[in-house]
Structure 1
Amino acid sequence: MKNEMSPVTSVYFVALIKAYLRGTKTRQEVIQDLYNTTSLLQKEEDNGKEVTQLLFKIASEINENYYQDIVTGITHASDTTPTREGMVHQLQAMLTGFITPKQLYQWATWHNNNEADTDSGSSFFDDIAVDYFCTQLLPASFEELTTAQYKQALKIFQSTHHNTLKDKVALVLLSDKEKQRFLFYLGDYIQGHTSPEQLDVYLLHKFGMDHHSFPYMSSLSAIMQEPGKLSALLNMAAMIEN
């Protein structure tokens, strides 16, 4: 079936899918692009339908060969994972009410679905903070995350210091529970109750780092036997402004 009003190629759909998967376009922005470009999209069709499935459907209605063209363009592509730019865009959209928390969740965790139509097996995250948010934090804590924590996550991703290790640490420390664990385990360490190797058990479990890679070890070493200074280190690690 051809759309004589607004002819588009499969390249258009590949670009639109990639923009959504990377996060630079929200679900609503993709839908609006489709409304503006093709007359095939009906209002009832986009109600809750997964975005990439909708794009495949519309593309196939324009030209039945587009489906395979899009699969070829997406499969094994290295630029189909959420990016920091995309994370900022999606969080801003959610916090302003342009998308819902559920739609943020659907976007951030699409790659966890082994049955996704756009399997991009060679894709990988180039930002460990974005990786942590999408693959661990949001799936595990979606029901508990508050607006204040989403705002803090946005602040972390907008940080200009470009240290993804520190950003990941700050994301882990979003919850009060993790802040208390931080104080407990690092407090034991600076008071000499545990060795670096024992501290590694906590660091590896919570941050995926050992005492060699944990970005605050030098700051921690500077306050040995001074537990009263640990709260200030926590605020720095959690990127909390006093």
Structure 2
Amino acid sequence: MKKQTHFITSTYFISLIKSWLQGTKTRPEIISETADVLHLTSIDPSDVTYLLITVAREMNEDFYTDIVAHINYDADTVPTRKGLIHHLNALLAEEITLQEFMEWARWYSIDEDQLSAGIFEDFVVEYFCLDFLSANDDVFSPYMCRRALEILEYTGASPTQQKIALTLLPGHELDDFKEFLSQVASQHPSTTFIDRYLMKKFGMDHESFPYMQELLTQGTAALLKKAQLLTT
């Protein structure tokens, strides 16, 4: 073991942990890539950060101090778009389980009275991990996984448009939006009514809703396709 690990420094562990926290490496990938030196599968707990910190501390107590300092204070220790896409692809390819995906996507938690806005650099990833999955983890399906991946990779879509499309993935959310569009088309409600709905549904008003012109001028089918970022 000493011959295999004498070259390892705390930087090695920090890099591994950040790649996990950001999502660019899955748990199986980290275990596989470090199998010759770290033997992570021999440690019972499944949390990757805990696994790596435990092994690092056993090697050198100073490693633990360095790791904690970097993980607690560095900004690049939250899920990223690249990491989310990587994990969604791995889930679809059955390289990780749904449980492993959720373990990664939801490792960052917030208090009930804490606002999620501004914690991640990418607010679409922030919305997906902190809000969307919490509300829909019991209905998250392979179809929703594929669609989430398509939405995140949709060329030319703004973050706001991607958030709207993600929000509409669950069937009950889409049905509710269809009902709203029907009301707008038939009743021509006030701006106040529209704002109240949009704020509750998407967290935006008529000035920030990117499909306001279509809402007032186009048919329901055309707007539904746009709002879901459907290509066909």
- Calculate the TM-score normalised by the size of structure 2: 0.90
Gaps of 5+ in 2: 112-117
Displacement of 1:127 in angstroms is 1.9
Q: Deviations over 1:180-205 (max 9, x none)?
A: 11111132223344212211122111
Q: Alpha-carbon deviation of 1:241?
A: 3.1
Change (3 A) 1:162 1:67: farther
Residue 69 of structure 1: how far off its partner (Å):
0.5
Q: Is it true that 1:132 corresponds to 2:127 in the alignment?
A: yes
Q: Does 1:183 align with 2:181?
A: no
Distance 1:3 1:160 in 2: 49
Deviations 1:55-77 (A, max 9, x none): 00111111111111101111121
CA contact (8 A) 2:88 2:145 kept: yes
1:187-202 aligned within 5 A: 187-202=182-197
Determine the structure 1 residue equivalent to 2:115. Answer: none
Match of 1:112 in 2: 109
Alignment of 1:42-57 (within 5 A): 43-45=41-43, 49-57=46-54
Distance 1:169 1:113 in 2: 22
- 1:76-91 maps to which residues of 2 (within 5 A)? 76-91=73-88
Matched-pair contact (CA < 8 Å) for 1:183–1:231: no
How well do the aligned residues superpose, as a CA RMSD in angstroms? Answer: 1.8
Which residue does 1:3 correspond to in 2? 2
Shift of 1:222: 2.1
Amino acid across the alignment from 1:75? N
User: Match for residue 224 of structure 2?
Assistant: 234
Query: Structure 2 CA distance, aligned partners of 1:11 and 1:176?
Result: 45
**Would you say 1:59 and 2:73 are equivalent positions?**
no
Please say if 1:100 is aligned against 2:97: yes
SS at match of 1:150: helix
Matched, 1:150 2:166: no
Q: Relative to 1, partners in 2 of residues 1:109 and 1:186: Cα closer, same or farther, differing over 3 Å?
A: same
What's the CA shift for 1:80?
A: 1.1
Name the amino acid aligned to 1:21. Answer: L
Q: How far off its partner does 1:162 sit?
A: 4.4
Q: Do the aligned partners of 1:156 and 1:170 also contact (CA within 8 Å) in 2?
A: yes
Change (3 A) 1:162 1:14: farther
Between the aligned partners of 2:66 and 2:73, the Cα distance in structure 1 is: 13
Matched, 1:22 2:22: yes
User: What is the Cα deviation at residue 48 of structure 1?
Assistant: 5.0
Seen in structure 2, the aligned counterparts of structure 1 residues 65 and 174 have a Cα distance that, compared at 3 Å, is same
Assess if the C-alpha contact under 8 Å between 1:166 and 1:237 holds in 2: yes
Percent identity, aligned pairs only, is: 38
Instruction: Compute the TM-score of the two structures, normalised by the length of structure 1.
Output: 0.87
The Cα of 1:113 is off from its aligned counterpart by: 6.7
For residue 108 of structure 2, give the secondary structure of its aligned residue in structure 1. Answer: helix
TM-superposed CA distance for 1:210, in Å, is: 0.9
Contact 1:186 1:199 in 2 (8 A): no
1-side partners of 2:172 and 2:192: how far apart?
23
State the Cα distance separating 1:90 from its structure 2 match: 0.2
Match of 2:202 in 1: 207
Counterparts of 1:42 and 1:67, CA distance in 2: 17
What residue number does 1:41 align with?
A: 39
- Contact 1:203–1:210 at 8 Å: present in 2 too? yes
Report the secondary structure of 2:24's partner residue. Answer: coil
CA contact (8 A) 2:148 2:166 kept: yes
State the SS of the aligned residue for 1:181: helix
The structure-2 alpha-carbon separation of the partners of 1:113 and 1:182, relative to structure 1 and needing over 3 Å to count, comes to closer
1:3–1:62 contact (8 Å) kept in structure 2 = no
